Structure 1
Amino acid sequence: MSLILPMSAFALAASISPGPVNLVCLSSGTRYHLYKGLWFVTGATLGFIALFLAIGLGLHSTLAWIPGFERLLTWAGIAFLLYLSYRLAIDDGTITSDTPAKAPGFWTGALMQWLNPKAWLASASGIGAYTSGGDLVQLTIFATLYLPICWLSLSTWVLTGRFLRQQIQRPRLLQTVNRSLAVLLAASCLYLILD
């Protein structure tokens, strides 16, 4: 199929470009064991693929009929991102305090994609550009390509965070990195509000 390369390139560009999920992946890599970050990545990837397929099967056009749905989605996403920003901002930068309750997990990753306007936009625009109106075969091929590309792209952010963790052994410096990520995550909310 001649669309495999363009679909793959789109999936890579959409998955690896900075966004709220990518910033949480980076933060997870700096703060937690690698497997916890990859568990979040797995949830985020599968959550995205479920959203992608749902949109491809008509969810977005169906929900567009609900008055205020897009605004509700935007505000729910903003609230969730601000919550994650707060958690990053209050982190003390101590690497040894790695308790499982603090690490964002599988379900956080999956839910975050459903509340992430970037994920909705990437799904709708990719499906609109590379599939023919609800063609199940094309949608399945696209989702099959997207799955490993998304997982590997998000994993790259976790591994980058892991690299930073190895380079940053002082809690004060890690706390500064976490607060910078919190500011970036909160700033992404401004983009959503002003859009």
Structure 2
Amino acid sequence: MNSIRPLFLFVAVATLTPGGATMLATASGGRFGFARSIPLMLGIALALASLAAVAALGLGRLLLAMPILRTTVRALGSAYLLWLASRIARSGPPNAGDGPARPVTLVGAFLLLWLNPKSWAMTVGAAASFALLASSPNRLALLLGTAFGLAACISLALWCALGILLARLLYTPLHWRILNLAMGALLAASIIPTWR
């Protein structure tokens, strides 16, 4: 077996860089706090782990081979992210009652990530790049699923903590408005690379 350090570096960079999931974790942390954001973070981490495992087993190739399926997943994921982005952008301070009343659920976060073309591309790319690290597709699925799941937990916790920190620095409704507009815009912008 070859060294797994390159895999860990790839997974760390892939999960720590800003994107839709990290923006959701940041916004949720700022609005709902860490404990109430755990289902969102856990749903994303479980989905990413399962996507990586599925990609390692070869099922991700089906998605990449069928343009209509790929376009459907991309459209559904984009629509859901845009809806979430608009809800975040239009909300005010947590106590204003004009934003989401509760955080994204574990199931909602799981489905969101499964509809995210960026996640599919990232996990299928990892499965292809690191296939020689394991002696069978099942072992590769276990390795990639574990690596992506753990890295996502750490990354999302850090981004959620950033949201909490930002929330402590915001004192006025205008500050919250600016943050929510920025989080909504960044979440919407994270869709653009999936359509290239």
Distance 1:94 1:171, change over 3 A: farther
Deviations 1:113-145, CA, capped at 9 Å, x for gaps: 111112111101111101149622233123222
Question: How many residue pairs are counted as aligned between the two chains?
Answer: 194
The equivalent position to 1:189 in structure 2, one of 181, 188, 191, is 191
Q: Are 2:173 and 1:171 aligned?
A: yes
Deviations 1:70-127, CA, capped at 9 Å, x for gaps: 1111111110111111111221223475998431121121111111112111101111
In 1, the alpha carbon distance for the partners of 2:58 and 2:7 equals 19
Alignment TM-score, normalising by the size of structure 1: 0.90
Q: Are 2:63 and 1:63 aligned?
A: yes
Cα-Cα RMSD: 2.2
The amino acid of 1:71's aligned partner reads: T
Q: Which runs of 5+ in 2 are unaligned?
A: none
In 2, the alpha carbon distance for the partners of 1:37 and 1:96 equals 19
Q: Which runs of 5+ in 1 are unaligned?
A: none
The answer as to whether partners of 2:91 and 2:98 remain within 8 angstroms in 1 is no
Distance 1:138 1:189, change over 3 A: closer
Deviations 1:17-60, CA, capped at 9 Å, x for gaps: 11101100110011002112222101100011111111221222
The amino acid of 1:177's aligned partner reads: L
The answer as to whether partners of 1:3 and 1:130 remain within 8 angstroms in 2 is no
- Residue of structure 2 equivalent to 1:30: 30
Map residues 128-147 of structure 1 onto 2, 5 A cutoff: 128-132=128-132, 135-147=137-149
State the shift of 1:9 in Å: 0.9
The amino acid of 2:22's aligned partner reads: N
Greater mean deviation of Cα atoms: 57-66 or 161-170: 57-66
